[in-house]
Amino acid sequence: MKKKSFEFIIVILCLIVWIILNESISISSIILGIIFGILSLFIVEKLLVSNYHEIARNLKLKIIFKYLSYLIFQIYISGFSAISMIVLGKTNVGIVEITTELKDDMTISILANSITLTPGTVTLSKSGNKLKILWLNKITSDSEKAGKLIKKDFEKILSGG
């Protein structure tokens, strides 16, 4: 995918997110969404990741949409679960360290951020392919079992599965 068409898709995705967050499809909302999309691209390219285009080339559009759909679904499901645990007083807060099979720093960071976006879990730190997670419902201290419960299918989708 050429750089300009990729950037166009990213601006459109930012616009869609902007419209969803603002719950408005007015002309001013669309213009602001496009401006913030372009500004986001500039910030990412100039200040954060200079080779984002090469990194993003490995992510296929189908995987991105599948991942975002799964993430939104998990946010809602985990949100209802976390609310019920808190209301019923059945929390067991603890910290676990999990290991990811992902190799690329970008995809590991996406996984870590997705874990944080999912209610009931917060990524505290990242060291290589190890993530330290604050877990609202610490069922197990076993790193492998905890990893399966916390990562769900995020890792599988990010690796192209």
Kindly provide the b/e burial profile for residues 10-35, where b requires at least 16 CB atoms within 10 angstroms of the residue's own CB.
bbebbbeebbeeeeeeeeebeebbee
Residues 6+ apart with CB under 8 A from 4: none
Q: What is the reported pTM?
A: 0.68
| Edge-first strand listing for the sheet containing 130-135 | 94-99, 130-135, 121-127
Evaluate the CA torsion angle 23, 29, 30, 35 in order and state its sign.
Answer: negative
- 109: which 2 tokens? 């960071």
Q: Which tokens is 8 given?
A: 């166009």
- From first to last of the 161 residues of the chain, give the pLDDT tens digit: 566 777 787 788 888 888 888 888 889 989 998 998 888 888 877 766 555 555 555 556 778 888 888 999 999 899 999 999 999 998 989 999 999 998 888 788 889 999 998 999 999 999 989 999 999 989 988 889 998 999 988 988 888 76
Residues 78, 119 contacting (CB under 8 angstroms): yes
Strand partners, 127: 130
Q: CA–CA separation, 77 vs 147, rounded Å?
A: 18
